[in-house]
């Protein structure tokens, strides 16, 4: 008994990876590979789409449209994330429990607010958007709230964790000096977590830009809207132009936040760009963005707070909610066994799609990650650097950024041109987006490993594959699995979205039910979706414990 | 810089206050301005064509009735129905099914006008030419795409006629059924080879052929459905907001479109609008009920 426990403990990582691999292989069987999976004309379409990458439409009209759409996408991202920060700050502080000294109140508050934050982020922003549009109509607020709530949930959870992890000593010192709880928060906690908060927020801001781009799906003009229109006209060269703009925006934010993070961590006040202090420059840029974005939303987009709190919105929100519950109806889907059966099949399909997606992403990552880690490509990890390593490094890094800068939904819209509708195109779209993220994280993990044991292997004459298997893999396996589990959680949340464009699972049923105004079916789908996300949360927590 | 977080929060608060006060001024502006009469249309085809079509018509209705008329584009069929329900769209160009959905949720909404062809509307089934299909049942085993889920001529009626012929869209096609989203996209997908067959609105097909956009060597019609009532102008309870008689005025304006508005009507693939009424769409309603789309 004890021995087997020991065995499990010793090999937990390997057992878990083996288990995950088995699940992935099982999920492959859910697809009938003997059927033709590609449309009869899919290959030709794929060729057309790929060719168009090299001839994007840079005509004046399209460029003009691109700039306007990029701006709108950015504006909504800024507005959404700024609200999210406020939400996250308030809820994060409350759920960290640092404001309360009484143990029981602390526990209760922490529990309640954790749950609220969890709920906020368990629903994808596009689903929030759809719900808001149904309740509030097509106002800019629908999109902004739809962004602010899930991002507030994610940021809030992280803020709360950061606050809880703050070292006790300075706080106790403040406490004993008689500082009030709020004084402790502002003078004790905040200065210590400020840097982490900023750098994590910057990372989420990059994600918010992508989310803002796909808000077009509910009727908001932006890059996603233009991509959708051009796809409808099968004008692939225009599609790529808009995608290039989106990618550039994401890369710009990525670079900016990287530099800012480095400067903040090193507390380097001297770094400058064009002779201007980078920190000050960043601060000014943020301020300008904030002001101009909100100005744009109120003045140009015509957002109106007063009409927002109107009787009319109250009436329609109430009506929408009672329709979701099915008040006064006798055909309530969530009380109907047949509907449940149908929804559970779709839930399984969705789960299946997420497993395929993470499997494909992992394969993609494993194939590409080795040349991409800086310490491998420059030879500092034992292997000699060959001339092609640098080139490979740059190409794959660019593919990583490119693939993750394009939101899953947009990948799905494109993939569906080539593959037949079903869970496979959905999984491929999700994998296209996620393998870049997984690759980047994993490359960083490799860059972070201790080089000495590997150098030893190298000097004792081990060749490249041997170095890989004995030196690198055991060291980074734990990190890889952690990232894979984490990305799987994110993917599961997004599977419903790719279903909107015909990629199967719960998402497609959601779209159909929305089109036909079958509200109680939507409730049922949402219930299944939330249960699935919760299940994934619990499961991944357990898996993380195993590999700890 | 040290207090960047605090500063940001303060900036945000100040700004949201400023935003609120901004808002009051725009709000009072709104009260002085006259109300805008908003028209919308289902996004069933090429967006740039729809923009021209409805913007020109909005201008015409404005001139005829003295109202300030504005066209509001939408990206989704059901979004237009929702906006109509909320009274944010006063006059909507709906398909047969979306019209029924819209009138279902707004008591007193009325179908007032349509094109002559909408009294006897058809869907066409198209296929890649070299498949040489002859009859509807030939689609069995081929890949197939509908238009939008909410489309009458691109989904509801084609599905209905497929079922009448004993075909099950769920299992009789190669792969799952696809929803392309719009009529233009349907023929483009078949022409490009992505799908072997598809069904779409006859009017959209004809105008694409007329304008020489379709390559008839690659794709052709092999079946045309029996006639049914389709597109219509459905008007909201506008007399309440714009004064008594507005509904009649708008209807009059639509019905008196003539030679002088030829360019507008070309964009509608017709030469005039004729009268219609809610009862004309009972058949559509019962088909939608039978297919479980309307409950």
User: Searching chain B, which residue's CA lies closest to the CA of residue A330?
Assistant: B295
Q: What is the pLDDT of residues B14-63, one digit of tens each?
A: 555 444 444 433 443 444 346 899 999 988 887 778 888 999 999 999 99
**Closest-CA distance of chain B to residue A152, Å:** 15
Q: Are strands B91-94 and B36-41 parallel, antiparallel or unpaired?
A: parallel
- What is the residue extent of each domain of chain B? 33-118+231-282, 122-224
Q: Are strands B232-235 and B123-128 parallel, antiparallel or unpaired?
A: unpaired
- Is the confidence at residue B215, as pLDDT, over 60? yes
Facing residue for A515 by CB, picked from B5, B75, B149 = B149
> Helix, strand, or coil here: A364?
helix
Instruction: Identify from B4, B50, B103 which residue to disrupt to test chain A contact, counting A C-beta atoms within 10 A and taking the largest count.
Output: B4
> Which of residues B6 and B269 earns the better pLDDT score?
B269
**How many Å separate Cα A189 from the centre of its chain?**
28
What is the third-level CATH fold of B33-118+231-282? Answer: D-Maltodextrin-Binding Protein; domain 2 (3.40.190)
**What's the start-to-end Cα distance of chain A, in Å?**
22
**How many Å separate Cα A105 from the centre of its chain?**
33
Contact A198 B88 (CB under 8 A): no
Contact B174 A291 (CB under 8 A): no
What sign results for the dihedral spanned by CA atoms A114, A119, A125, A129?
Answer: negative
**Closest-CA distance of chain B to residue A165, Å:** 19
Q: Could you tell me where in chain A the CATH 1.10.3720.10 domains are found?
A: 60-315, 338-547
Instruction: Identify from A48, A131, A138, A518 which residue to disrupt to test chain B contact, counting B C-beta atoms within 10 A and taking the largest count.
Output: A138
Spatial distance between the Cα atoms of A426 and A405, rounded to a whole number of angstroms: 17
Which residue in A470, A133, A85, A542 sits closest to B8, CA to CA? A85
A-chain residues within 8 Å CB-CB of B95?
Answer: none
Which residue in A88, A196, A526 sits closest to A333, CA to CA? A526
Which residue in B204, B200, B207, B203 sits closest to B222, CA to CA? B200
B-chain residues within 8 Å CB-CB of A502?
Answer: 176, 178-179
Spatial distance between the Cα atoms of A496 and A506, rounded to a whole number of angstroms: 6
Contact B193 A299 (CB under 8 A): no
Residue B7: pLDDT band by 50, 70, 90 thresholds? low
B-chain residues within 8 Å CB-CB of A35?
Answer: 175
ipTM: 0.80
> Helix, strand, or coil here: A277?
strand
Residue B280: pLDDT band by 50, 70, 90 thresholds? very high
Spatial distance between the Cα atoms of A225 and A62, rounded to a whole number of angstroms: 13
Q: What is the pLDDT of residues B154-210, one digit of tens each?
A: 999 999 999 999 999 988 988 778 898 889 889 988 988 888 999 999 999 998 999
Contact A283 B1 (CB under 8 A): yes
Question: What is the structure's pLDDT at A268?
Answer: 57
Contact B76 A502 (CB under 8 A): no
Contact B179 A44 (CB under 8 A): no
Contact A290 B294 (CB under 8 A): no
Q: What is the pLDDT of residues B235-271, one digit of tens each?
A: 999 998 898 999 999 999 999 998 888 889 988 888 8
Instruction: Identify from A516, A519, A520 which residue to disrupt to test chain B contact, counting B C-beta atoms within 10 A and taking the largest count.
Output: A516
> Helix, strand, or coil here: A274?
coil
**Closest-CA distance of chain A to residue B250, Å:** 25
Let me know: does B70 contact B33? Beta carbons within 8 Å: no
Residue A38 DSSP label:
B
User: Searching chain B, which residue's CA lies closest to the CA of residue A217?
Assistant: B75
Let me know: does B293 contact A516? Beta carbons within 8 Å: yes
Contact B175 A133 (CB under 8 A): no
CATH class of B122-224: alpha beta
- Is the confidence at residue B6, as pLDDT, over 60? no
Contact B179 A502 (CB under 8 A): yes
Question: What is the structure's pLDDT at A473?
Answer: 67
- What are the φ/ψ torsions at residue B93 (nearest 5 degrees)? -95, 100
Contact A39 B1 (CB under 8 A): no
**Closest-CA distance of chain A to residue B255, Å:** 31
E strand or H helix at A70: helix A60-96
- A-B Cβ pairs (cutoff 8 Å, strict): 151
B-chain residues within 8 Å CB-CB of A78?
Answer: none
Contact B178 A502 (CB under 8 A): yes
Contact B195 A331 (CB under 8 A): no
**Closest-CA distance of chain B to residue A337, Å:** 17
Contact A304 B26 (CB under 8 A): yes
Q: What is the 3-state secondary structure (H, E, C) of chain B?
A: CCCHHHHHHHHHHHHHHHHHHHHHHHHHHHHHCCCEEEEEECCCCCHHHHHHHHHHHHHHHHHHHCCEEEECCCCCHHHHHHHHHCCCCCEEEECHHHHHHHHHHCCCCEEEEECHHHHCECEEEEEEHHHCCCCHHHHCCCCEEECCCCCHHHHHHHHHHHHHCCCCCCCCCCCCCEECCCHHHHHHHHHHCCCCEEEEEHHHHHHHHHCCCCCCCCEEEEEECCCECCCEEEECCCHHHHCCCHHHHHHHHHHCCCHHHHHHHHHCCCCCCEECCHHHHHHHHHHHHHCCCCC
Spatial distance between the Cα atoms of B205 and B223, rounded to a whole number of angstroms: 13
Q: At what angle do helices A223-232 and A60-96 cross, to 10 degrees?
A: 130
CATH classification of A60-315 is 3.40.718.10, yes or no?
Answer: no
Contact B194 A39 (CB under 8 A): yes
What count of other Cβ atoms lies within 10 Å of the Cβ of residue A397? 19
Show the low-confidence residues of chain A (pLDDT under 50). Answer: none
Using CB atoms within 10 Å of the CB of residue B221, give its burial: 0 to 12 exposed, 13 to 18 middle, 19+ buried: middle
Note whether B33-118+231-282 and B122-224 share their fold.
yes
For chain B, give the percent of residues with pLDDT over 90.
Answer: 59
**Closest-CA distance of chain B to residue A515, Å:** 5
What sign results for the dihedral spanned by CA atoms A152, A157, A162, A164?
Answer: positive
What is the third-level CATH fold of A338-547? Answer: MetI-like fold (1.10.3720)
A-chain residues within 8 Å CB-CB of B143?
Answer: 39-40, 420
What count of other Cβ atoms lies within 10 Å of the Cβ of residue B275? 12
Contact A299 B19 (CB under 8 A): no
Mean pLDDT of B289-295: 89
Q: Are strands B123-128 and B144-146 parallel, antiparallel or unpaired?
A: unpaired
> Helix, strand, or coil here: A94?
helix
Q: Which residues of B71-98 are buried (b: 16+ CB within 10 A; e: fewer)?
A: bbbbbbbbbbbbbbbbbbbbbbbbbbbb
């Amino acid at each position: 008994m004890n021995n087997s426990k020991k065995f499990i403990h010793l090999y937990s990582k390997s057992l878990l990876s083996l288990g995950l691999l088995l699940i992935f292989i099982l999920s492959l069987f859910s697809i009938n590979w003997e059927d033709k999976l590609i449309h009869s004309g899919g290959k030709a379409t794929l060729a057309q789409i790929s060719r168009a990458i090299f001839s994007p439409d840079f005509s004046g009209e399209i460029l003009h449209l691109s700039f306007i759409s990029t701006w709108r996408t950015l504006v909504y991202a800024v507005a959404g994330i700024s609200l999210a920060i406020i939400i996250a700050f308030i809820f994060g502080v409350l759920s960290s429990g640092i404001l309360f000294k009484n143990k029981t109140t602390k526990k209760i508050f922490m529990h309640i607010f954790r749950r609220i934050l969890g709920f906020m982020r368990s629903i994808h922003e596009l689903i929030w958007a759809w719900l808001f549009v149904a309740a509030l109509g097509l106002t800019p607020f629908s999109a902004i709230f739809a962004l602010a709530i899930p991002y507030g949930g994610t940021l809030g959870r992280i803020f709360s964790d950061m606050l809880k992890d703050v070292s006790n000593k300075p706080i106790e010192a403040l406490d004993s000096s008689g500082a009030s709880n709020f004084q402790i928060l502002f003078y004790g906690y905040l200065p210590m977590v400020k840097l982490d908060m900023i750098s994590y927020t910057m990372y989420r801001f990059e994600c918010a830009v992508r989310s803002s781009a796909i808000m077009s799906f509910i009727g908001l003009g932006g890059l996603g809207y233009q991509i959708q229109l051009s796809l409808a006209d099968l004008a692939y060269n225009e599609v790529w132009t808009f995608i290039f703009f989106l990618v550039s925006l994401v890369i710009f934010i990525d670079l900016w936040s990287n530099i800012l993070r480095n400067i903040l961590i090193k507390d380097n006040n001297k770094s400058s760009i064009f002779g201007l202090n980078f920190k000050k420059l960043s601060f000014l840029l943020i301020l300008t963005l904030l002001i101009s974005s909100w100005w744009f939303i109120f003045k140009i987009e015509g957002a109106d707070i007063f009409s927002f709190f109107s009787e009319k919105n109250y009436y329609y929100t109430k009506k929408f909610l009672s329709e979701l519950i099915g008040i006064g109806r006798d055909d309530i889907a969530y009380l109907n066994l047949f509907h449940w059966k149908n929804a559970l099949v779709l839930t399984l399909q969705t789960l299946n799609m997420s497993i395929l997606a993470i499997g494909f992403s992992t394969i993609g990552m494993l194939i590409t990650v080795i040349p991409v880690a800086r310490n491998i490509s420059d030879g500092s990890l034992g292997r000699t650097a060959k001339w092609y390593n640098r080139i490979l490094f740059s190409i794959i890094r660019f593919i990583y950024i490119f693939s993750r800068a394009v939101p899953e939904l947009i990948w799905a819209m494109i993939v569906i041109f080539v593959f037949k509708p079903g869970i496979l195109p959905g999984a491929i779209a999700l994998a296209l987006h996620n393998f870049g993220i997984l690759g980047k994280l994993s490359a960083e993990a490799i860059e972070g490993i201790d080089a000495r044991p590997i150098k030893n292997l190298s000097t004792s004459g081990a060749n490249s594959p041997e170095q890989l298997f004995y030196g690198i893999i055991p060291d980074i396996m734990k990190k890889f699995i952690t990232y894979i589990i984490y990305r799987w959680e994110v993917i599961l949340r997004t599977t419903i979205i790719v279903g909107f464009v015909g990629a199967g699972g719960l998402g497609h049923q959601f779209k159909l039910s929305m089109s036909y105004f079958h509200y109680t079916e939507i409730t049922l789908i949402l219930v299944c979706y939330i249960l699935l996300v919760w299940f994934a949360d619990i499961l991944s927590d357990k898996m993380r414990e195993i590999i700890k | 810089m040290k207090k960047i977080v605090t500063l940001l929060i303060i900036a945000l608060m100040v700004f949201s206050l400023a935003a609120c006060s901004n808002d009051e001024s725009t709000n009072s502006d709104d009260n002085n301005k006259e109300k805008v009469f908003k028209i919308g249309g289902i996004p069933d085809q090429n967006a740039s064509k729809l923009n021209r079509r409805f913007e020109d018509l909005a201008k015409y209705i404005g001139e005829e009735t003295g109202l300030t008329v504005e066209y509001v584009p939408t990206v989704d069929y059901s979004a237009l129905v929702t906006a109509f329900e909320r009274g944010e769209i006063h006059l909507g160009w709906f398909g047969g099914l979306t019209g029924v959905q819209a009138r279902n949720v707004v008591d007193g909404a009325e179908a007032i006008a349509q094109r002559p062809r909408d009294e006897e509307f058809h869907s066409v089934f198209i296929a890649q030419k070299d498949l040489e299909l002859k009859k509807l049942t030939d689609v069995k085993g081929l890949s197939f795409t509908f238009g939008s889920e909410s489309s009458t001529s691109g989904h509801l009626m084609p599905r209905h006629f497929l079922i009448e012929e004993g075909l099950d869209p769920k299992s009789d096609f190669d792969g799952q059924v696809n929803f392309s989203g719009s009529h233009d996209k349907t023929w483009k997908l078949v022409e490009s080879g992505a799908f072997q067959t598809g069904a779409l609105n006859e009017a959209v097909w004809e105008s694409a052929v007329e304008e020489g956009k379709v390559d008839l060597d690659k794709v052709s019609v092999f079946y045309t459905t029996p006639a049914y009532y389709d597109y219509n102008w459905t008007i909201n309870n506008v007399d309440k907001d714009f004064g008594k008689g507005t509904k009649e005025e708008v209807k009059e304006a639509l019905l008196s479109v003539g030679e002088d508005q030829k360019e507008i009507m070309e964009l509608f693939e017709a030469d005039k609008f004729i009268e219609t009424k809610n009862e004309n769409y009972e058949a559509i309603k019962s088909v939608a009920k039978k297919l479980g789309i309307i409950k």
